[in-house]
Amino acid sequence: MHTVQAVKRGNRIVEQRFRGLARLFFAVADPTRIRILLTLQRRDEACVTDLADELGISVAAVSHHLRILRECRCLQTIRMGKMICYRFIPNAFTKFVIGRLRDQEP
C-alpha cells in the first residue's frame, strides 16, 4: 500500500516538473518574449512602458508577455512606488537560449 502511494506521489512530482518545463518552452517559443528577455538582460530592469517603447509594441501586449514570463519564473518584479519594474532571472535553460541567440548574431 505504501509503495503504491509513493509511486503515485512520485508520478505527480514528475508530472509537475514536466508541466513546468512545458511552460518554460512555451514562454521562450515566442519571438516577442525572447526579445523581452534579451532586453531585460541588457538593461538589468525595466518597466512595462519602457519595454513597450523599446520593442515598438503596445503596453497591453508587453503586459501579456510579461505575465507568461513571470509564471514560468523567468522574471522578478520590483515595486518602485506605483510602478512595477521587471528583472530577468537567469536559469540554465534561459541562459542556454540567450547564448544560442548570441551565437547567431552577425
Mean pLDDT for 52-65 is: 96
- Residue 91 has a CB neighbour count (10 Å cut-off) of 12
d(C-alpha 35, C-alpha 93), whole Å = 16
Query: 79 with 87: CB under 8 angstroms?
Result: no
How much is the pLDDT for 99? 75
**Domains of the chain, start order:** 2-90 (1.10.10.10)
Per-residue pLDDT, averaged over 48-71, amounts to: 95
d(CA 105, CA 12): 40
DSSP 8-state code for residue 87: E
Query: Is the separation of the CB atoms in 38 and 101 below 8 Å?
Result: yes
Q: List, for residues 1-50, the tens digit of each pLDDT value.
A: 456 565 566 677 778 888 877 888 888 889 999 899 989 988 889 999 99
What is the C-alpha separation between 94 and 100, in angstroms, rounded?
A: 10
